[in-house]
Amino acid sequence: MKQIVVLASGRGSNFQAIVSAIQEDNIRAQCIALISDNPLAVAVDIARDANIPAHVLDFLSFPDKSAYEEALLYLLVQLNPDIIALAGYMRLLGDSIIQTFPDSIINIHPSLLPSFPGLHAQEQALRYGVKIAGCTVHFVTKDMDNGPVIMQRSVPVLDDDDKEHLADRILVEEHKALPEVLRLICEDRIRREGRKVTVLKNPSGFP
């Protein structure tokens, strides 16, 4: 059974979706830890309620980003997860972490990448005037929101949308996409060749 560590910075709704999917046996894995850079993150409370160890590395308590990254890498090496899932984690991972866990880190982003990377993706989409928005689960590389795409889910952009309403509808799809990708990874059904990611058909005998 694969072991998952989740990184989250805020309200933790995507983390809750992962926890629920594991509890319902939709993801055959164990979430061995939550790590947050924010001691006030609701995700920390979700972890504790689910009896998942919660590690808080308060970014503001470190002298600089390098010291924070060193502590984060040390903790991740100690935990030694099979998969690291970024679920609303609002910091870029350093190269040392990405190199230590190659092809093992995934992220959920609220746009159809490569369109609208970075912050405020929903607002970017509205300003650009697109008719379809959505979310992307991708492998994490050293370049922000530029890793190979694993899965995307879309929503229509309505004429009367504002960024909050669009974000809410995208979030519904995020809660489906991220657990689904984790399920597929835990069933050894994801293959990556360069930028191409393929979903295999049931190689491990799962239903």
Distance CA 22, CA 30 (A): 7
Q: Which domains does the chain have, with CATH numbers?
A: 2-199 (3.40.50.170)
What pTM was computed for the model?
Answer: 0.95
**Burial zone of 207 (CB within 10 Å; 0-12 exposed, 13-18 middle, 19+ buried):** exposed
Catalytic residues: 109
Q: How confident is the prediction along the chain (207 residues), in pLDDT tens digits per residue? A: 999 999 999 999 999 999 999 999 999 999 999 999 999 999 999 999 999 999 999 999 999 999 999 999 999 999 999 999 999 999 999 999 999 999 999 999 999 999 999 999 999 999 999 999 999 999 999 999 999 999 999 999 999 999 999 999 999 999 999 999 999 999 999 999 999 999 998 754 444
